[in-house]
Amino acid sequence: MAKKIEVNDKFPAFTLPDQDGNPVNLADEFGKPLVVYFYPKDDTPGCTKEACSFRDQYEFFTDAGAKVFGISSDSSASHRKFRAKHNLPFTLLSDKGNAARKQVGVPGSLLGLLPGRVTYIIDPQGVVQQIFNSQLDVVGHVTKAVDTIKAMNYSVN
């Protein structure tokens, strides 16, 4: 596993397919605030609640100029279904083989049996400003992201 990314580290650039199979390079997204959250699995109770919480706050993020990305090892097809079922307006990226998860150093949970649930808030220069790691406090990821974007002093239109 790569070095675990910490606050004030540059977030690594990687390219993953989105829910439609199109490649997305996160480095191309630097220049605006980013919320990148890693989650265990599409359409499970906790992951659905987390994704829907991000959906419900999506207007805040877009008004602040931020983009939201959810990442799991599920396939693009699974992401497409999950996104449609819950009307998720943000991009879901497929990390088959967990290469990006390993590159970022996202820890596992429950003795490493489940993929970890970690959210990174990244400034326009690509520097991590906040990390929230909690398997169980799924809504806390969204609250922490909103609070951090507000603290970064981005004006909401």
Phi, psi (rounded to 5 degrees) for 15: -115, 130
52 is catalytic: no
Between 135 and 21, the more confident residue is 21
Q: C-alpha 60: how far from its chain's center?
A: 16
Residue 157 pLDDT > 50, yes or no?
A: no
What is the reported pLDDT for 116?
A: 85
Choose among 149, 151, 152: nearest CA to 59.
149
Number of neighbours of residue 86 by Cβ within 10 angstroms: 14
> What type of residue is 64?
A
Residue 156 pLDDT > 80, yes or no?
A: no
Over the range 92-110, which residues count as b (16 or more CB within 10 Å of their CB) and which as e? bbbbeebebbebbbbbebe
Active-site entry in 34, 47, 100, 149: 47
**To which residue do tokens 């977030």 refer?**
11
Distance CA 35, CA 152 (A): 13
What is the band of 140 on the pLDDT scale with cuts at 50, 70, 90?
Answer: confident
Residues 6 or more apart whose Cβ sits within 8 Å of residue 143: none
Tokens of 106: 């996202």
Mean pLDDT value across residues 62-72: 95
Positive or negative: CA dihedral 130, 69, 37, 27: negative
Residues 41, 75 contacting (CB under 8 angstroms):
no
Distance CA 131, CA 37 (A): 9
pLDDT tens-digit readout, 9-29: 999 999 999 999 999 999 999
